[in-house]
Structure 1
Amino acid sequence: MTDFPLSAFLVGLLLSIAGVVVLMALTFAVATVQRRHSVIDVTWGLGFVVVAVITFLASAGEGDDGRRVLMLVLVAAWGLRLAGFIGWRARGGEEDPRYEEMLADPPGSAAVLALRKVYLPQAGVMLFVSLPIQVAMVSTGTLGPLAWIGAAAWAVGLFFEAVGDQQLASFKNDPARRGTVLDTGLWRYTRHPNYFGDAMVWTGLFLVAADSWPGVLTVLSPALMYWALANKTGKPLTEKRMSARPGYKEYIESTSGFFPLPPKAGRGI
């Protein structure tokens, strides 16, 4: 077990809080001008990059340089890709129905309701989920096998997320397939390759942090991401929206709900 520089971690945490608050304030300003709060979806990936950059700079001379650089590269590659993809997908679009429903008929100020129900919760979740990043940046142990296993898990996750997103975008852009169900490519093996990939990315980042004490204590961060993607805001909402589409019931019966598995008639997990 290595000594953990608690004071350096707390400095990084405070700076991360400040950075996320500034980022959310800027996002709220942009959303107000554009009249759509769905721009915060772009901020989601960028927020983790902000935390990674802040804690990387703040931990200079404290944490192991190999782990610091590895974590920065992994987070930046994932976060910038996600933000770029969501920004490209939403260009010129309208408000997401999720936010319309969430913010409909406010009892008072619409802006206050948006801050309370969208921006503050996402900022809090972002800071909690980013704990493996913050801890890894100041951990003093040198990189071990678990960190490289984590990098491999991250790579698998990024593949599923990026390829799944691209396959879905191509599917939606094909007029001949409008109103049908995407069941080819990675979508043949899991109904949500992008969500599974995201969960794997955060599993990998956790393993990089857990390679040195006390990174293992941040296990609730990837657990929260997995729970949200598989049981709360990811898979359930998507499947509720898709449930009325012709052929989707049969797709559920034959295709794994989250973890990639060979398609099999009657499987719906």
Structure 2
Amino acid sequence: MSTPQVHRVSASWCWLAYATALAASAALAHVLEVSYPTLGYLWKGFILNVAATAVVWLFSLIASNTSVYDPYWCVAPLALGFYWKAHAPGGFWLYEPRETAALVLLWAWAVRFFWRVPWDGWKVGLTHEDWRYAQLRAQMPSETAYWAFSFSSLHLTPTLLVHACMLPVARLIQQGAAAPPLGAADAAALALIALAIGIETAADEQLAAHRRSPASLGGRRACRSGLWRWSRHPNYCGECLFHTGLLALGAAGGAVAAEPALCVGAAVMWLFFRFASVPLMDARSLERREDYKAVMASTSALLLWPPRD
């Protein structure tokens, strides 16, 4: 087993990591534009996203702290949206209603995250590493093995997953003025996206209120009020619904009919949370919360569903 060597990471290092990733992506974008002018912008966005992830991984490696990557999955979609919009038909300042709504809600989703779950790296730096990374690190035979795993599974995998979920938005942006008019399907998709953001916000607020209350017994009892009465992980449910809403908006704009593969991102997001994130969090809660076995027996794992007790 490897011995964890986690070090404090300054805020300046965190900012430098993301500034360097942005600068490297901008330089690579110019190279792609000059050397591969016919390559589609969805593929160019993919290459830039992977390159930026590699830069952030390098900063994580040097700092010996994988949590340097933590906000990336929320920062990258904003950068991708900007890049795709800058190269859309009609240019950056032509805003078709459907794509505009998608980009506004994407920013609302990101701002909600940064406001409600602020990352210490931006202000004071990191004094610890996420417990999930530390747990995985302790299971690795060496530091070299851990950092290879960290790149493939803890950096690149979530990058690719979120990138796949962004592809319907990319197609909407690339339609430009040729986009079909808005209809009832668009209204339903936009309502789903807004509902998903609301679910995530409400779940975070309810959990925070529970942790402050005497009923939590210092974290030894699970939250069973509000949305947490209907799902063990309503915040995860909201996240999956958000990406499903982006897919629905892409379908409303005709993108999915032409490219059914665009459905893959949202589907894999549901599978990832249900079979990777949920079991990991449940196992931790079983160790830390005395009533969690009863919660698991009565409460839906991911979907919002009436409790069984």
Q: Fold conserved (TM > 0.5)?
A: yes
Distance 1:252 1:153, change over 3 A: same
The runs of 5 or more residues in structure 2 that have no matched partner are 1-36
TM-score, scaled to structure 2: 0.73
Counting only pairs closer than 5 Å after superposition, residues 5-84 of structure 1 correspond to structure 2 as: 11-32=40-61, 34-61=63-90, 65-84=96-115
Look up the match of 2:276. Answer: 233
Aligned-partner Cα distance in 1 for 2:170–2:119:
29
Pick the aligned partner of 1:221 from 256, 261, 265: 265
Distance verdict in 2 for CA 1:41–1:207, change over 3 Å: same
The equivalent residue for 1:187 is 228
Q: Aligned residue for 1:5?
A: none
Q: Given that residues 162 and 265 in structure 2 are in contact (C-alpha distance below 8 angstroms), is that contact kept between their aligned partners in structure 1? A: no
1:108 aligns with 2:139: no
For residues 174 and 105 of structure 1, the distance between their equivalents in structure 2, rounded to whole angstroms, comes to 41
Greater displacement, 75-84 / 187-196: 75-84
* One-letter code aligned to 2:223: L
> In the alignment, which residue of structure 1 is the partner of 2:9?
none
The aligned amino acid for 2:243 is W
Which protein has the larger Cα radius of gyration, Structure 1 or Structure 2? 2
Distance 1:246 1:9 in 2: 59
CA distance in 2, matches of 1:254, 1:9: 55
Q: Distance in 2 between matches of 1:27 and 1:33?
A: 10
Q: Match for 1:260: what amino acid? A: L
Q: 1:151 aligns with which of 190, 206, 215?
A: 190
Cα gap change, 1:97 to 1:76, in 2 (>3 Å)? same
Report the 3-state secondary structure (helix = DSSP H, G, I; strand = E; otherwise coil) of the residue aligned with 1:87.
coil
For the residues of structure 2 that align with 1:155 and 1:37, how far apart are their CA atoms?
A: 31
What value does the CA root-mean-square deviation take over the aligned residues? 2.8
2:241 equivalent in structure 1: 200
Distance 1:9 1:38, change over 3 A: farther
Q: Confirm or deny that 1:162 pairs with 2:201.
A: yes
1:171 matched residue in structure 2: 210
Q: Does 1:253 align with 2:297?
A: yes
Distance of 2:62 and 2:213 partners within structure 1: 32
Change (3 A) 1:107 1:39: closer
The one-character-per-residue Cα deviations of 1:196-230 (angstroms, maximum 9, x if unpaired) are 11111111111110012232421121111111112
Number of aligned residue pairs: give it.
257
- Aligned sequence identity (%): 24
Please tell me the residue identity of whatever aligns with 2:168.
P
- SS in structure 2 opposite 1:233? helix
Give the alignment's TM-score, normalised by structure 1: 0.83
Superposed, 1:127-138 pairs within 5 Å as 127-138=163-174
8 Å CA contact 1:136–1:209 kept in 2: the answer is yes
Deviation at 1:16, TM superposition (A): 1.5
Cα 1:113–1:195 change in 2 (3 A) is closer
Secondary structure of 1:243 counterpart: helix
